[in-house]
Amino acid sequence: MENAARRQVGQATSGRAELNRRQVLLFLSLALTRSPASGSRLLAAAERDELRFDFSGPRMSKRGGRVTWPDPWDVWSALRGQASLQIEDGPAEIGRVAHFRTVDGSIVLYRDLRSRPADIRSRPWLSWRWTAEKLPAGGSVFRADRNDQVLQVYLAFRRSDGYDILGYVWDTVTDERAENVSRQSFRVLIFGRIEAAVHVVRKGPTDAWLTEVRNVAEDHRKYFSPLRPTLAAVGIWSDSNHTGSASDGKIGPLVFSASKPQDRLTTATAPS
């Protein structure tokens, strides 16, 4: 099943308009073509107001320790170029963070959520904190030949005939646009109809930890109405392979909450 999905990724991706499809399809093929863990379970009472995708699980590793990741997440990296992922202690108020580095490479951390249903209607607010130390030179989500971002967050929602994909990315190029959203709509046999909307929520470099807050239910309704609230997979990506450059960024837990968290930009204190 997984190999068939990978073949379709290659068959469905060529040319300028197709490049964003490749990332979307690779994300789906990684997260959703393996058999999910058996047995769904209801969320515990303490989790009903907040759902956290953090990095506190037992650490796994490969490539001589250059790539580490926490269970139950999984990781994939391209054979081309260099890519590393380390789980580190971040600022005290953030906790463990995922540190992505690439040199002409690509790497994604992802989770399959099919065995644990998550309905965003009860927790529509998504927040996370991130920092970008090195951006892919000239990267732009709107340029097929330079479509690299230091950090990208992807959410997959199940629909009756396929999947909706919401993306939130930290881009490099700071050109002004009327709307910072890249949209795609296409069909692939193994997944069905795919609708994707990728938001540029941050541009340019910074050495500070910044906070992002999104009403995911509202974003979903805006681009994919009606709302299909079942979250099937989450992924965090970093790449520099299209620009042949390098990227270096860190991101904290993804937190879904029932009420809107504090949404002002904040600067975190680095750990001593």
Question: Does 1.10.150 match the CATH number of domain 50-257?
Answer: no
CA distance 40 to 83: 33
Domains of the chain by residue range: 50-257
The DSSP bridge pattern shows strands 192-203 and 254-257 to be: unpaired
Q: How far is CA 179 from CA 143, 145, 182, in A?
A: 15, 20, 9
- Within 10 angstroms of residue 251's Cβ, the number of other Cβ atoms is 27
- How does residue 32 score in pLDDT terms, banded at 50, 70 and 90? confident
Of 190, 232, 237, 249, the closest CA to residue 75 belongs to 237
Q: Which two tokens stand for residue 123?
A: 């927790």
What does the pLDDT look like over 199-221, one tens digit per residue?
Answer: 999 998 888 999 999 999 999 99
pTM, full prediction: 0.84
pLDDT computed for residue 38 by the predictor: 41
Asked if 166 contacts 220 with a C-beta cutoff of 8 angstroms, the reply is yes
What does the pLDDT look like over 141-197, one tens digit per residue?
Answer: 888 889 999 999 999 999 889 999 999 999 998 666 656 888 888 888 888 999 999
